[in-house]
Amino acid sequence: MADPRVLCLGEALVDRLGPPGGDPALDQPVDDRLGGAPANVACALARLGTPVAFVGRLGRDAIGDQFFRLFQQRGIESSGVQLDPERPSRIVLVRRTVGGERQFQGFAGDRGQGFADQALQAPTLSGSARWLLVGTIPLATPAAAAALRGAVDQARVRGMAIAVDVNWRPTFWDADADPSAGPPPSALAAIRPLLEQAALIKLAREEAIWFFGSAQAQVISGLLPQAPDVVVTDGAEPVTWWMEGASGSLAAFRPSDVVDTTGAGDAFTAGLLHCWDLPPAHRVRFAAGCGALVCSGAGGIDPQPSAPEVEAFIAGA
Protein backbone atom coordinates (compact mmCIF):
# COMPACT_ATOMS: atom_id res chain seq x y z
CA MET A 1 0.00 0.00 0.00
CA ALA A 2 1.42 3.40 -1.00
CA ASP A 3 1.90 6.03 1.69
CA PRO A 4 -1.37 7.98 2.01
CA ARG A 5 -1.50 11.34 0.28
CA VAL A 6 -4.69 12.26 2.18
CA LEU A 7 -5.72 11.48 5.76
CA CYS A 8 -9.50 11.61 6.30
CA LEU A 9 -10.49 12.03 9.95
CA GLY A 10 -13.97 11.87 11.45
CA GLU A 11 -17.17 9.90 11.38
CA ALA A 12 -17.93 6.58 9.71
CA LEU A 13 -21.58 5.55 10.12
CA VAL A 14 -24.63 4.03 8.48
CA ASP A 15 -27.08 6.14 6.51
CA ARG A 16 -30.52 4.53 6.90
CA LEU A 17 -32.33 5.74 3.80
CA GLY A 18 -36.09 5.81 4.09
CA PRO A 19 -38.33 4.96 1.15
CA PRO A 20 -38.73 7.98 -1.17
CA GLY A 21 -41.29 10.26 0.46
CA GLY A 22 -41.40 8.13 3.63
CA ASP A 23 -40.04 8.25 7.18
CA PRO A 24 -36.93 6.08 7.82
CA ALA A 25 -37.93 5.71 11.48
CA LEU A 26 -41.34 4.26 10.65
CA ASP A 27 -41.73 3.23 7.02
CA GLN A 28 -40.39 0.26 5.12
CA PRO A 29 -38.35 -0.69 3.28
CA VAL A 30 -35.26 1.13 4.53
CA ASP A 31 -31.90 0.91 2.82
CA ASP A 32 -28.83 0.88 5.11
CA ARG A 33 -25.69 2.25 3.45
CA LEU A 34 -22.22 2.79 4.86
CA GLY A 35 -21.41 6.48 4.95
CA GLY A 36 -20.20 9.45 6.97
CA ALA A 37 -18.55 12.35 5.17
CA PRO A 38 -14.85 11.61 5.93
CA ALA A 39 -15.37 7.90 5.25
CA ASN A 40 -17.15 8.75 2.00
CA VAL A 41 -14.26 10.98 0.93
CA ALA A 42 -11.71 8.29 1.79
CA CYS A 43 -13.58 5.67 -0.23
CA ALA A 44 -14.03 8.03 -3.17
CA LEU A 45 -10.33 8.95 -3.18
CA ALA A 46 -9.33 5.28 -3.14
CA ARG A 47 -11.73 4.56 -6.00
CA LEU A 48 -10.13 7.39 -7.98
CA GLY A 49 -6.65 6.04 -7.29
CA THR A 50 -5.34 8.40 -4.59
CA PRO A 51 -3.58 6.67 -1.66
CA VAL A 52 -5.63 7.49 1.43
CA ALA A 53 -6.00 6.64 5.12
CA PHE A 54 -9.06 6.86 7.37
CA VAL A 55 -8.87 7.80 11.05
CA GLY A 56 -11.99 7.44 13.18
CA ARG A 57 -13.79 5.42 15.85
CA LEU A 58 -16.33 2.65 15.31
CA GLY A 59 -18.26 0.32 17.55
CA ARG A 60 -17.08 -3.23 18.03
CA ASP A 61 -20.13 -4.38 16.11
CA ALA A 62 -21.40 -5.52 12.73
CA ILE A 63 -21.17 -2.02 11.29
CA GLY A 64 -17.53 -1.77 12.37
CA ASP A 65 -16.84 -5.13 10.73
CA GLN A 66 -18.46 -3.94 7.49
CA PHE A 67 -16.27 -0.85 7.42
CA PHE A 68 -13.08 -2.83 7.94
CA ARG A 69 -14.02 -5.09 5.03
CA LEU A 70 -14.84 -2.06 2.89
CA PHE A 71 -11.55 -0.34 3.73
CA GLN A 72 -9.65 -3.51 2.88
CA GLN A 73 -11.50 -3.90 -0.43
CA ARG A 74 -10.80 -0.28 -1.41
CA GLY A 75 -7.16 -0.37 -0.29
CA ILE A 76 -7.62 2.26 2.42
CA GLU A 77 -5.07 2.43 5.24
CA SER A 78 -7.12 1.78 8.40
CA SER A 79 -4.57 1.34 11.17
CA GLY A 80 -5.87 4.60 12.68
CA VAL A 81 -9.38 3.23 13.17
CA GLN A 82 -10.29 2.85 16.85
CA LEU A 83 -12.79 0.28 18.14
CA ASP A 84 -15.09 1.21 21.03
CA PRO A 85 -16.09 -1.74 23.24
CA GLU A 86 -19.07 0.07 24.77
CA ARG A 87 -20.56 2.52 22.28
CA PRO A 88 -22.14 1.41 19.00
CA SER A 89 -21.47 2.70 15.53
CA ARG A 90 -23.93 5.44 14.64
CA ILE A 91 -27.01 4.97 12.43
CA VAL A 92 -28.34 8.17 10.84
CA LEU A 93 -31.95 8.35 9.72
CA VAL A 94 -32.14 9.92 6.26
CA ARG A 95 -35.43 11.11 4.84
CA ARG A 96 -35.51 11.16 1.01
CA THR A 97 -37.85 13.07 -1.25
CA VAL A 98 -39.30 11.45 -4.35
CA GLY A 99 -36.75 13.48 -6.33
CA GLY A 100 -33.79 12.04 -4.41
CA GLU A 101 -32.99 15.00 -2.14
CA ARG A 102 -32.21 14.01 1.46
CA GLN A 103 -32.46 15.39 4.96
CA PHE A 104 -30.88 14.01 8.14
CA GLN A 105 -33.54 13.70 10.81
CA GLY A 106 -32.12 11.77 13.76
CA PHE A 107 -30.30 8.65 14.90
CA ALA A 108 -30.83 5.02 15.84
CA GLY A 109 -28.82 2.50 17.84
CA ASP A 110 -27.84 4.55 20.92
CA ARG A 111 -27.74 2.31 24.00
CA GLY A 112 -27.50 5.22 26.42
CA GLN A 113 -23.79 6.12 26.16
CA GLY A 114 -23.80 7.85 22.81
CA PHE A 115 -22.01 6.66 19.70
CA ALA A 116 -18.46 5.52 19.07
CA ASP A 117 -17.56 8.48 16.84
CA GLN A 118 -18.37 10.85 19.72
CA ALA A 119 -15.63 9.22 21.83
CA LEU A 120 -12.83 9.56 19.27
CA GLN A 121 -9.47 9.62 21.05
CA ALA A 122 -6.53 11.75 19.98
CA PRO A 123 -4.78 9.94 17.11
CA THR A 124 -1.08 9.93 16.38
CA LEU A 125 -0.58 11.00 12.79
CA SER A 126 2.29 9.40 10.91
CA GLY A 127 3.65 9.37 7.40
CA SER A 128 4.04 12.28 5.01
CA ALA A 129 0.50 12.93 3.79
CA ARG A 130 -0.14 16.12 1.87
CA TRP A 131 -3.64 16.78 3.25
CA LEU A 132 -5.66 16.25 6.41
CA LEU A 133 -9.35 16.30 5.48
CA VAL A 134 -11.82 17.00 8.29
CA GLY A 135 -15.40 18.14 8.78
CA THR A 136 -17.05 19.95 11.66
CA ILE A 137 -19.17 17.13 13.14
CA PRO A 138 -16.48 15.95 15.63
CA LEU A 139 -16.58 19.43 17.18
CA ALA A 140 -20.12 18.70 18.42
CA THR A 141 -18.90 16.57 21.36
CA PRO A 142 -16.02 17.29 23.75
CA ALA A 143 -13.91 14.14 23.32
CA ALA A 144 -14.08 14.10 19.54
CA ALA A 145 -13.50 17.86 19.41
CA ALA A 146 -10.30 17.51 21.44
CA ALA A 147 -9.15 14.68 19.18
CA LEU A 148 -9.80 16.72 16.03
CA ARG A 149 -7.97 19.77 17.38
CA GLY A 150 -5.03 17.59 18.37
CA ALA A 151 -4.89 16.05 14.91
CA VAL A 152 -4.99 19.49 13.27
CA ASP A 153 -2.13 20.65 15.50
CA GLN A 154 -0.08 17.59 14.53
CA ALA A 155 -0.85 18.08 10.85
CA ARG A 156 0.32 21.67 10.92
CA VAL A 157 3.59 20.68 12.64
CA ARG A 158 4.13 17.99 9.99
CA GLY A 159 3.49 20.41 7.15
CA MET A 160 0.15 18.96 6.03
CA ALA A 161 -2.45 21.26 4.52
CA ILE A 162 -5.86 21.26 6.24
CA ALA A 163 -8.93 20.76 4.06
CA VAL A 164 -12.27 21.46 5.74
CA ASP A 165 -15.63 20.38 4.37
CA VAL A 166 -17.98 22.35 6.62
CA ASN A 167 -20.78 19.76 6.37
CA TRP A 168 -23.08 21.52 8.87
CA ARG A 169 -25.57 18.99 10.32
CA PRO A 170 -27.61 20.49 13.20
CA THR A 171 -28.93 17.14 14.47
CA PHE A 172 -25.38 16.06 15.37
CA TRP A 173 -25.15 19.04 17.69
CA ASP A 174 -28.71 18.78 19.03
CA ALA A 175 -30.78 15.68 18.25
CA ASP A 176 -33.98 17.74 18.60
CA ALA A 177 -32.85 20.53 16.28
CA ASP A 178 -34.67 21.37 13.07
CA PRO A 179 -32.64 19.53 10.38
CA SER A 180 -32.73 22.67 8.23
CA ALA A 181 -31.56 25.06 10.98
CA GLY A 182 -28.39 27.09 10.76
CA PRO A 183 -25.63 27.06 13.39
CA PRO A 184 -26.26 28.71 16.76
CA PRO A 185 -23.63 31.07 18.22
CA SER A 186 -22.07 28.27 20.28
CA ALA A 187 -21.45 26.16 17.17
CA LEU A 188 -20.12 29.14 15.23
CA ALA A 189 -17.64 29.80 18.04
CA ALA A 190 -16.53 26.16 18.11
CA ILE A 191 -16.08 25.91 14.35
CA ARG A 192 -14.46 29.27 13.58
CA PRO A 193 -10.93 28.35 14.85
CA LEU A 194 -10.90 25.33 12.55
CA LEU A 195 -11.86 27.48 9.56
CA GLU A 196 -9.03 29.86 10.45
CA GLN A 197 -6.49 27.03 9.99
CA ALA A 198 -7.74 25.63 6.69
CA ALA A 199 -5.86 25.86 3.41
CA LEU A 200 -9.04 24.76 1.57
CA ILE A 201 -12.65 25.23 2.62
CA LYS A 202 -15.48 23.56 0.74
CA LEU A 203 -18.99 24.53 1.76
CA ALA A 204 -22.53 24.69 0.43
CA ARG A 205 -24.12 28.03 -0.42
CA GLU A 206 -26.39 28.05 2.65
CA GLU A 207 -23.41 27.21 4.86
CA ALA A 208 -21.45 30.09 3.32
CA ILE A 209 -24.23 32.51 4.22
CA TRP A 210 -24.66 31.10 7.73
CA PHE A 211 -20.95 31.18 8.56
CA PHE A 212 -19.74 34.21 6.60
CA GLY A 213 -22.78 36.23 5.54
CA SER A 214 -21.77 35.83 1.89
CA ALA A 215 -21.84 33.13 -0.79
CA GLN A 216 -18.94 34.71 -2.71
CA ALA A 217 -15.83 32.55 -2.43
CA GLN A 218 -13.41 35.47 -2.73
CA VAL A 219 -15.22 37.38 0.00
CA ILE A 220 -15.10 34.36 2.31
CA SER A 221 -11.38 33.93 1.70
CA GLY A 222 -10.81 37.58 2.53
CA LEU A 223 -12.64 37.24 5.85
CA LEU A 224 -10.11 34.70 7.15
CA PRO A 225 -6.56 35.58 8.22
CA GLN A 226 -4.88 32.87 6.13
CA ALA A 227 -6.86 33.68 2.92
CA PRO A 228 -7.67 30.04 2.06
CA ASP A 229 -8.86 28.59 -1.21
CA VAL A 230 -12.67 28.40 -1.11
CA VAL A 231 -15.18 26.38 -3.13
CA VAL A 232 -18.93 26.99 -2.80
CA THR A 233 -21.36 24.38 -4.10
CA ASP A 234 -25.09 24.94 -4.60
CA GLY A 235 -26.79 21.66 -5.47
CA ALA A 236 -27.85 21.76 -9.11
CA GLU A 237 -26.77 25.41 -9.44
CA PRO A 238 -23.27 26.51 -10.54
CA VAL A 239 -20.21 25.83 -8.40
CA THR A 240 -18.12 28.94 -7.66
CA TRP A 241 -14.57 29.16 -6.37
CA TRP A 242 -11.60 31.29 -5.40
CA MET A 243 -8.34 29.37 -5.69
CA GLU A 244 -4.76 30.51 -6.16
CA GLY A 245 -5.91 34.10 -6.59
CA ALA A 246 -8.39 33.32 -9.37
CA SER A 247 -12.18 33.00 -9.38
CA GLY A 248 -14.54 31.02 -11.56
CA SER A 249 -17.83 29.21 -11.83
CA LEU A 250 -19.05 26.01 -13.44
CA ALA A 251 -22.59 24.91 -14.26
CA ALA A 252 -23.36 21.72 -12.34
CA PHE A 253 -23.53 18.50 -14.32
CA ARG A 254 -26.94 16.88 -14.37
CA PRO A 255 -27.01 13.07 -14.29
CA SER A 256 -29.75 11.50 -16.36
CA ASP A 257 -31.29 9.68 -13.39
CA VAL A 258 -31.01 11.00 -9.81
CA VAL A 259 -31.54 8.18 -7.32
CA ASP A 260 -30.06 9.71 -4.16
CA THR A 261 -27.93 12.82 -3.56
CA THR A 262 -26.33 11.41 -0.38
CA GLY A 263 -22.56 11.67 -0.67
CA ALA A 264 -22.49 13.89 -3.75
CA GLY A 265 -20.65 16.65 -1.90
CA ASP A 266 -18.17 14.14 -0.48
CA ALA A 267 -17.43 12.76 -3.95
CA PHE A 268 -16.93 16.36 -5.09
CA THR A 269 -14.40 16.95 -2.30
CA ALA A 270 -12.56 13.75 -3.18
CA GLY A 271 -12.40 14.74 -6.84
CA LEU A 272 -11.00 18.13 -5.91
CA LEU A 273 -8.19 16.65 -3.80
CA HIS A 274 -7.50 13.87 -6.29
CA CYS A 275 -6.57 16.29 -9.08
CA TRP A 276 -5.26 19.19 -6.99
CA ASP A 277 -2.16 19.60 -9.15
CA LEU A 278 -4.32 20.57 -12.14
CA PRO A 279 -5.43 24.18 -12.79
CA PRO A 280 -8.40 25.25 -10.60
CA ALA A 281 -10.99 25.09 -13.41
CA HIS A 282 -9.94 21.53 -14.25
CA ARG A 283 -10.10 20.50 -10.58
CA VAL A 284 -13.63 21.80 -10.24
CA ARG A 285 -14.83 20.23 -13.48
CA PHE A 286 -13.49 16.82 -12.46
CA ALA A 287 -14.92 17.19 -8.95
CA ALA A 288 -18.34 18.15 -10.31
CA GLY A 289 -18.32 15.03 -12.46
CA CYS A 290 -17.59 12.90 -9.40
CA GLY A 291 -20.49 14.46 -7.51
CA ALA A 292 -22.94 14.02 -10.37
CA LEU A 293 -22.13 10.36 -10.92
CA VAL A 294 -22.69 9.48 -7.25
CA CYS A 295 -26.29 10.70 -7.55
CA SER A 296 -27.06 7.86 -9.97
CA GLY A 297 -27.05 5.23 -7.20
CA ALA A 298 -28.11 4.74 -3.58
CA GLY A 299 -25.83 5.78 -0.74
CA GLY A 300 -22.62 7.74 -0.78
CA ILE A 301 -20.09 4.93 -1.42
CA ASP A 302 -21.37 2.21 -3.76
CA PRO A 303 -21.94 4.53 -6.78
CA GLN A 304 -18.54 6.24 -6.51
CA PRO A 305 -16.83 6.35 -9.91
CA SER A 306 -13.31 5.55 -11.04
CA ALA A 307 -11.17 8.25 -12.63
CA PRO A 308 -11.71 6.91 -16.18
CA GLU A 309 -15.48 6.88 -15.60
CA VAL A 310 -15.37 10.52 -14.49
CA GLU A 311 -13.26 11.52 -17.50
CA ALA A 312 -15.65 9.77 -19.87
CA PHE A 313 -18.67 11.41 -18.23
CA ILE A 314 -17.35 14.98 -18.35
CA ALA A 315 -16.07 14.48 -21.91
CA GLY A 316 -19.61 13.65 -23.00
CA ALA A 317 -21.35 16.30 -20.89
Q: Is residue 160 part of a domain?
A: yes
**Residue 219, domain extent:** 6-316
Q: What percent of the chain has pLDDT over 90?
A: 77
At residue 123, the 3 state secondary structure works out as coil
Q: How many domains does the chain have?
A: 1
Q: Which region holds residue 196: left if phi is over 0, alpha if psi is between -120 and 50, else beta?
A: alpha
Question: pLDDT grade, residue 265 (50/70/90)?
Answer: very high
| pLDDT value at residue 2 | 67
Least Cα distance to 128 among 166, 173, 158 occurs for 158
Question: pLDDT grade, residue 224 (50/70/90)?
Answer: very high
Of the listed ranges 75-89, 194-208, 220-234, 261-275, the least confidently predicted one is 261-275
Q: Which strands sit side by side in the sheet containing 161-165, from one edge to the other? A: 77-84, 52-59, 6-9, 131-134, 161-165, 200-204, 229-234, 237-243, 246-250
Q: What is the C-alpha separation between 75 and 69, in angstroms, rounded?
A: 10
Question: pLDDT grade, residue 44 (50/70/90)?
Answer: very high
Burial of 83 (0-12, 13-18, 19+ CB in 10 A): middle
Least Cα distance to 224 among 199, 241, 249 occurs for 199
CATH of the domain at 195: 3.40.1190.20
Q: What is the C-alpha separation between 163 and 313, in angstroms, rounded?
A: 26
| pLDDT value at residue 1 | 55
Element of type H or E holding 266: helix 264-274
Q: What is the C-alpha separation between 126 and 246, in angstroms, rounded?
A: 33
Residue range 107-140, pLDDT digits in tens: 998 989 999 999 999 999 988 899 999 999 999 9
| Average pLDDT score over the chain | 93
Q: Is residue 1 part of a domain?
A: no
| pLDDT value at residue 27 | 82
Phi first, then psi: give them for residue 244, nearest 5 degrees. Answer: 55, 35
The amino acid that residue 198 corresponds to is A
| pLDDT value at residue 24 | 76
